Amino acid sequence: MGIIRKTESVGALLNEFKNGSNAISAITLVKRLESKFNKTTVYRVLDKLEDDGVLHSFMGDKGIKWYAKCDGCSKSEHVDLHPHFQCVACGKIDCVAVDVTIPKIPNREITASQILIQGTCEGCTSK
Amino acid sequence: MGIIRKTESVGALLNEFKNGSNAISAITLVKRLESKFNKTTVYRVLDKLEDDGVLHSFMGDKGIKWYAKCDGCSKSEHVDLHPHFQCVACGKIDCVAVDVTIPKIPNREITASQILIQGTCEGCTSK
DNA sequence: TTTATATTTGCAACTTAGTTGCATTTATAT
DNA sequence: ATATAAATGCAACTAAGTTGCAAATATAAA
Ligand SMILES: [Mn+2]
Ligand SMILES: [Mn+2]
Ligand SMILES: [Zn+2]
Ligand SMILES: [Zn+2]
């Protein structure tokens, strides 16, 4: 179930995502907000924002959860599906709006795919 | 550092992977072998087998670690890179030998990619 | 075959990310 | 102003994986 009341914690979390298409890990958000909100609250609000189609989540390479803004999604359908790019040097993850074609696989019905592209970001290449 | 001595635990783990190209989660392996080996041993041997290019590992959708046999890899280079397919019905994961082309992304240097394809496997479709 | 030694193992304790139950607080509608 | 469902904090818990260290064992040397 999604967000019902516009509380302080909802505002604080939305604020973290207001600029940029950067993803932020759940633990980072917990740490950033720990002086104002309990981690349970952070995890719960993130979960609700995802239900509402405001954020989407995915797993990073170390098995930790990341969140990023959705574009054009709603409570009823998540349409903003895309790969993510993680810089192996600085660890940052971005949403990338590229189309990756997954070929058919014999005897399997494909419904989705999670793609984590790895490499070096602009900032880290120039160093 | 890889395997130096052919011990019982190494044999037991290799045996788990001897037939099929199915991936097996680390926790499953720990459970299967818990009567004979300590979980620490299982994790350590898996780690070494990966170093040796005998197994490769990747993260499943719930952030848990999976292992599968390598084909043509060695201590010096892991060449067997491929997507994985997870059945959303039964949870099983297989290695799939399909080629997925990742397009170039502006300002980023791509070095690798981790692709988890999701859908329904043959056994689960026919039910 | 015995001995030496580096490797492997088990165990217990620890870490980290995330979850749950429950009592208290708070946003919102009436 | 009041009622009430939703949100919150807290503490305790879970699950996956890791670490340090002493004891056991595979392997090579003598
Ligand atoms: Mn994204
Ligand atoms: Mn594989
Ligand atoms: Zn970077
Ligand atoms: Zn299946």
In a mutational test of the B interface, the residue from A64, A93, A115, A121 whose CB has the highest number of chain B CBs within 10 Å is A115
The pTM for the full model equals 0.94
Euclidean distance between CA atoms A89 and A39, whole angstroms: 28
CATH classification code of A8-125 = 1.10.10.10
Q: Starting at the edge strand that comes first in sequence, how are the strands of the sheet with B93-95 ordered?
A: A93-95, A84-87, A109-120, B109-120, B84-87, B93-95
Of A85, A100, A113, the CB nearest to B116: A113
- Chain A positions touching B81 (Cβ under 8 A) are none
Closest partner CB to B119 (pick from A88, A101, A111): A111
**Cβ burial A98-123 (10 Å sphere, 16+ → b, else e):** eebebeebeebeeeebbbbbbbbbee
pLDDT digits (tens, 9 = 90+) for A25-42: 999 999 999 999 999 999
Q: Which two tokens stand for residue A112?
A: 């989705």
H-helix or E-strand spanning residue A56: strand A55-59
The tens place of each residue's pLDDT in chain B, 127 residues long, gives 899 999 999 999 999 999 877 999 999 999 999 999 999 999 999 999 999 999 999 999 899 999 999 999 999 888 889 999 999 999 999 999 999 999 999 999 999 999 999 999 999 987 6
- What mean pLDDT, rounded, does chain A reach? 94
